[in-house]
Structure 1
Amino acid sequence: MLTGKQSWTFNKKPGIISTGVTGGPFEAKGNLAEDFDILHEDLWLGEKSYEKAHRILIEEAVDKALEKADLKPDDIQFYFAGDLINQITPSSFAARSIGVPFFGLFGACSTSMEGLALASYVVNTQGAKRAITCASSHNSAVEKQFRYPTEYGGQKPPTAQWTITGAGVAIVGDSDEIDGAYVGVTSATVGKVIDMGLKDPFNMGGAMAPAAVDTIIAHFKDLETSPDDYDLIVTGDLGRIGQSTALDLLSKKGYELDEAKFKDCGLLIYKDDQPIQAGGSGAGCSSTVLYGHLLNQMKKRKYKKILVVATGALLSQLSFQQKESIPCIAHAVSLEYIEK
């Protein structure tokens, strides 16, 4: 299982047996609208607060994943989930209604691959037959907490990114119980916290890029692989600034990546004419893009093997007020289309 210094290999190759992906009105106008299961016309979702609407996004995504797999909550052993709101209350309150033993996670926007890595580890070691993993975000709830309420109308610099409204859910299961071809989780690399001293909360991509590079290189070294072993390497939400910075840092470390192979979920999800500044972000960014668009592409055989590197900025309102720099982290998970 442990490979190198900070990676796991999954010999049983747990499979993603079902997914559920929900989004909001901005995502409905984006590039990947057809890859969402449920899209809403407004940010309130019939609730009295954005935080309560956020919870609904999660519950709907979980319900959709269960429905597509013809499963019930009692068929799931564990639920791994996290978001960006204080004390991950949307995920915890959703867990209250879902009724599955719950692991609450916080890795900021890296939570998606943190959850997928842990769920796959538990299933691979026979700690569970099936586990749910979820990462989510809500634009207005996150903006209110970390920056300015949208009603304030504050102007953002070009380096800022747009927090997506969405929840991405996957049910990870024992490969022995999967009939036919499937998308399997083959390895994971757990990142280290990297802090380059940046303090600007409106430049998350630049702050997170070094953490992404550190994890990508650790993955290559631990598993003795290279960029050539993947059809696609996709980061979570570095955006334009972070993606460019990461490519430059990788080149200086001796890893030349073709821009056609090195993509970013925050740049894939929206159209060029949407006002997203440097790209999309949020804990739901990489989860919705992976569990919706990228898995659909793998099932169509466009990609055989991909590496998803979700990045997270581990700041808070308190750390910003205390003028702390922004510690960042990235977790990587490799997925492969497996014929049986």
Structure 2
Amino acid sequence: MSDGKIYLRPLGFLYGPQAYAAMEDGLALPLAGGTTAFTSVELIEGAPKKSKAYMFSVPALSEAGDPDLRSRLNLVVQPRSPFAGLDLSRPALMGIVNVTPDSFSDGGLYDETEGAVAHAAELTKDGAAIVDIGGESTRPGSDTVVVDDELARVLPVLQGLKGTSAVISIDTRKAEVAKAAAKAGAKIFNDVSAFTYDPDSLQVAAETGLDVVLMHAQGEPKTMQDNPSYDDVVLEVFDYLEARIETCVAAGIAPSRIAADPGLGFGKTLEHNLALFANVSLFHGLGVPLLIGASRKQFIRGFGQAAEPKAREPGSYAAAIAAASQGAQLFRVHDVAGTRQALGVWRAAVFGSEN
């Protein structure tokens, strides 16, 4: 091995009985400790624009003695702890509740407390394990919302959700909002800036005990889609998330409380998003659960006449299946019922049963 950094991209996926048989024979390894197995890997060494890639079968990889390689492989295969109390052995859906007038898909539909609470209850009934409550749109071109306005939007909704069976997530970049949400019953702090927007967010996350979702974004929402640029989007997003995880752990947030989101559509072109999709499995090397948020996003429009966000649901289902096939555990979606059905059919097809 060289002195360069090592990345592992699991490939050759097997599911269900075939996965268990291959693992028992030493021909495959479990992906994030789940029911999906991989039989080969692409090993990438180096840095963006200076990397080299090699292919290895699992038996050949298992014989390698390089400590850096062993460490990265352990992160890929180790079982994931429950996230916010949720078992991740099956895909978990995070239903979106935008209490905003200007979100790209459903802005203005649920910006009143009663409507937002009812929508959250409907998403929960449809199978959402998590409901993600947000009071600030971070769509491309959006403006920042002041703290008081954001609190006025989300706190009444959080109060109205007391007793819900779903885990409550607060979608915010602001420490004060997250702290108030924790007091109101939220269990997850979902920050599209990965705690880089508000310098107090890291401390609030550590002190409240909230589980956290760290997302990658290039630039601010107002301008992030003006001219996104990367030397290697996959490795750069990986490195960013790895650094943010290390920062959280140093602040006292246990890895078991962290999930990572590559940030589809946040400072990325169509080509960048597709590269991330093709390499979802590489992000298991972060050692934490992976959340994918592709629902109704603009890049899906490139695959058909879908100017209106709701017309992008078929592409959203396909995106969820593509990520699930690579072992992603969490999915942030608008249509919980439809996504649940799509993932259920996919699982039944590849696993050979409804379980």
Task: Establish whether TM, by shorter chain, passes 0.5.
Answer: no
- The normalised TM-score by structure 2 is 0.29
Higher share in strand: 1
- The normalised TM-score by structure 1 is 0.30
